[in-house]
Chain A
Amino acid sequence: MDTSLVLVLLLAPFLGFLFNVFLGKKAGKSVVGIVGTLSVVVSFAITLYLFGNAGKEPVVVNLFDWITIERFNVKFGFLLDQLSILWLLFVTGIGSLIHLYSISYMHDDEKIHSFFAYLNLFIFFMITLVMGSNLLMMFIGWEGVGLCSYLLIGFWYKNQDFNDAAKKAFIMNRIGDLGFLIGIFIVGSLFNTLDFTSLKTIITTIDDINDLWIALAALALFIGACGKSAQIPLYTWLPDAMAGPTPVSALIHAATMVTAGIFMLTRLNFLFDMAPSVQNIIAIVGAVTALVAATIALVQNDIKKVLAYSTVSQLGLMFLALGFGAYEVAVFHVITHAFFKACLFLGSGSVIHGLHGEQDMRKMGGLKKTMPITFITMLIASLAIAGIFPLAGFWSKDEILMTAFHHNIVLWVIGSIASIMTAFYMFRLIYLTFFNSFRGTEEQKHHLHESPSLITVPLIILAIFSFFGGIISLPGHSWLNEYLAPLFSKVSHEEHTLGTTEYALMAIATIGAIIGIGIAYKKYLKDNTIPSEDAEITGLSKVLYNKYYVDEAYDAIFVKPVNVLSSFFRDAVETTLSALVFGLGKVTNEIALQGKKVHNGSVGLYLFAFVLGVCAILTYLFL
Chain B
Amino acid sequence: MDVTHILIILLVGALATYFSGDKWAPKVALLFGLAAFAGSICLLSQYNLANEINYVTLWIAKPKIYFALHADGLALAMLLLTTALTPIIIFSSFGNTYKNSKAFYALILFMTFAMAGTFLASDGILYYIFWELSLIPIYFIALIWGNGDAEERKKAVVKFFIYTLAGSLFMLVAFIYLYQKTGSFLIRELSQTDLSATEQFWIFLAFFLAYAIKIPLIPFHTWQAEVYQKAPTVGTMLLSGIMLKMGLYSVIRWQLPIAPMAAKEFMYVFIGLGIAGVIYGSIVALRQKDLKKLLAYSSLAHVGLIAAGAYTLTLDGLRGAVLQMIAHGFVVVGLFFVAEIIFRRYETRAIAEMGGIRAQSPKFTSMFMILVLASVALPSTFNFIGEFTVLYSLSQVNIWYAILGGTTIILGAYYMLKMFQHVMLGETNARIFADVTFNEGLTLVIIIAVLFFFGLYPKPIIDLITPSLENILTQVNRFN
B399 at the interface (CB under 8 A from A): yes
Residues of A with C-beta under 8 A to B456: 66, 76
Q: Are A178 and B409 CB-contacts (below 8 A) given A140-B379, A566-B286?
A: yes
B385 at the interface (CB under 8 A from A): yes
Q: Which of B159, B425, B428 contacts A581 (CB 8 A)?
A: B159
List, in ascending order, chain A residues with CB within 8 A of B417's CB: 150, 167, 170-171
Given contacts A167-B421, A170-B413, A585-B162, contact A67 B426 (CB under 8 A): no
Task: Report A605 CB to chain B, min CB distance, Å.
Answer: 32
Within 8 Å by CB of A160, from B373, B391, B402, B426, lies B426
Closest 3 CB pairs of A and B: A185-B395, A566-B286, A140-B379
Query: Among the listed stretches A80-88, A372-380, A525-533, A567-575, which one makes contact with chain B, having 4 or more residues with CB under 8 Å of it?
Result: A567-575
Q: A185-B395, A569-B284, A578-B222 are in contact. Are A66 and B410 (CB under 8 A)?
A: no
Whether B223 is near chain A, meaning CB under 8 Å from some CB there, is: yes
Whether the pair A70, B402 counts as a contact (CB closer than 8 A) is no
Flag if B395 contacts A577 (CB, 8 Å). Answer: no
Q: Bound complex: CA of A170 vs CA of B425, how far in Å?
A: 16
Contact of A185 among B288, B358, B391, B459 (CB under 8 A): B391
Q: How far is the CB of B216 from chain A (nearest CB, A)?
A: 11
| CB-defined contacts of B226 to chain A, threshold 8 Å | 578
* Nearest residue, chain B, Cβ from A577: B222
A182 to B392, CA, bound (A): 8
- Contact between chains at A574 and B379 (CB < 8 Å): no
Bound together, the chains give a CA A186 to CA B402 distance in angstroms of 10
Most A C-beta atoms less than 10 A away, residue of B159, B287, B456 = B287
Q: List 17 A-B contacts (CB under 8 A).
A: A65-B459, A66-B456, A66-B459, A67-B389, A68-B319, A69-B316, A70-B315, A114-B362, A144-B380, A163-B426, A170-B413, A171-B410, A174-B410, A178-B407, A181-B406, A181-B409, A567-B287
Shortest Cβ distance from A228 into chain B, in angstroms? 14
Chain B neighbourhood of A170, CB < 8 A: 413, 417
Given contacts A136-B388, A182-B395, A581-B163, A160 and B421 within 8 Å (CB-CB): yes
Q: Which residues of A sit under 8 angstroms from B446, Cβ to Cβ?
A: none
A189 at the binding interface (Cβ < 8 Å): yes
Find chain A residues with CB under 8 A from B223 CB: 581
- List A267-316 residues whose CB lies under 8 Å from chain B: none
Residue count of chain B within 8 Å CB distance of chain A: 60
B329 CB, min distance to chain A CBs, angstroms? 19
B-side contacts of A177, CB under 8 Å: 409
Against A, the Cβ 8 Å flags (1 = close, 0 = not) of B307-320 are 00000001110010
Contact of A158 among B163, B399, B428 (CB under 8 A): B428
Interface residues of A in 117-147 (CB under 8 A from B): 136, 139-140, 142-144, 147
Picked from B285, B409, B421, the residue with its CB within 8 Å of the CB of A163 is B421
Minimum C-beta distance from B321 to chain A (A): 14
User: What 20 new A-B contacts, CB under 8 Å, besides A136-B388, A158-B428, A171-B410?
Assistant: A66-B458, A68-B458, A143-B379, A154-B425, A157-B358, A157-B359, A158-B427, A160-B421, A164-B421, A167-B421, A174-B413, A181-B402, A182-B403, A186-B395, A189-B396, A566-B285, A569-B283, A578-B226, A581-B223, A582-B159
Contact B380 A140 (CB under 8 A): yes
Residue interface mask B407-449, A partner, CB < 8 A = 1: 1011101100110010011111000000000000000000000
Q: Is the CB of A174 within 8 A of B457?
A: no
- Proximity bits, A241-259, B CB within 8 Å = 1, else 0: 0000000000000000000
A562 at interface (Cβ–Cβ under 8 A)? yes
Q: Is the CB of A566 within 8 A of B379?
A: no
A585 contacts which chain B residues (CB < 8 A)?
159, 162
Q: Does A64 contact B (CB under 8 A)?
A: yes
Q: Which residue, B280, B356, B421, B458, has most C-beta atoms of chain A within 10 A?
A: B421
Contact of B284 with A574 in the complex, beta carbons under 8 Å = yes
Q: Does A563 contact B (CB under 8 A)?
A: yes
B390 CB to nearest A CB, Å? 11
Number of interface residues of A (CB under 8 A): 53
Tell me, yes or no, whether A413 is within 8 Å of chain B by CB. no
Contact A69 B392 (CB under 8 A): yes
Judge whether B280 and A160 touch: CB under 8 Å.
no
A188 within 8 A of B: yes
Smallest CB gap from B463: residue in A: A68
- Interface flag for A48 (CB, 8 Å): no
Is B409 touching A570 in the complex (CB atoms < 8 A)? no
- What residues on A are CB-neighbors of B219 within 8 Å? 577
Q: In the complex, A396→B92 CA distance in Å?
A: 59
A562 to B415, CA, bound (A): 11
User: Which residues from B are CB-within-8-Å of A181?
Assistant: 388, 391, 402, 406, 409
Determine chain A's interface SS by DSSP, over half rule.
Answer: helix
A163 near B283: Cβ-Cβ < 8 Å: no
In the complex, A566 Cα to B411 Cα: how many Å? Answer: 11
Cβ contacts under 8 Å, B288 to chain A: 570
Instruction: Pick the contact of A68: B286, B403, B407, B459 (CB < 8 A).
Output: B459
- In the assembled complex, the Cα of A121 lies from the Cα of B395 at a distance in Å of 32
- CA separation between A139 and B379, bound complex, in Å? 7
CB distance from B106 to the nearest CB of A (A): 30
| Residues of chain A with a CB closer than 8 A to B388's CB | 67, 136, 181
Distance, CA A216 to CA B395, complexed state (A): 13
Query: B457 touching A64 by the CB < 8 A rule?
Result: yes
Is A21 part of the contact surface with B, judged by Cβ < 8 Å? Answer: yes
Closest to B158 in A: A585
Query: In the complex, what's the smallest C-beta–C-beta distance from B461 to chain A, in angstroms?
Result: 10
Q: Is A562 a contact partner of B162 (Cβ separation < 8 A)?
A: no
Does B41 lie at the interface of the complex (its beta carbon under 8 Å from any beta carbon of A)? no
Contact assessment for B316 and A70 in the assembled complex, using a CB-CB cutoff below 8 Å: yes
Chain A CB within 8 A of B366 CB: yes
Q: Which residues of chain A in 53-98 are interfacial with respect to chain B, using CB atoms and an 8 Å cutoff?
A: 64-70, 76
A550 part of interface (Cβ distance < 8 Å): no
C-alpha spacing A65/B426, complex, angstroms: 42
Closest Cβ–Cβ distance, residue A27 to chain B (whole Å): 15
Q: CA separation between A562 and B414, bound complex, in Å?
A: 11
Q: Does B462 contact A (CB under 8 A)?
A: yes
* Smallest CB separation, A454 vs chain B (Å): 27
Least Cβ distance of B218 to chain A in Å? 8
Whether a CB of chain B sits under 8 angstroms from the CB of A507 is: no
- Say how far B416's CB is from chain A's closest CB, in angstroms: 10
Question: What residues of B have a CB within 8 angstroms of the CB of A144 in the complex?
Answer: 378-380
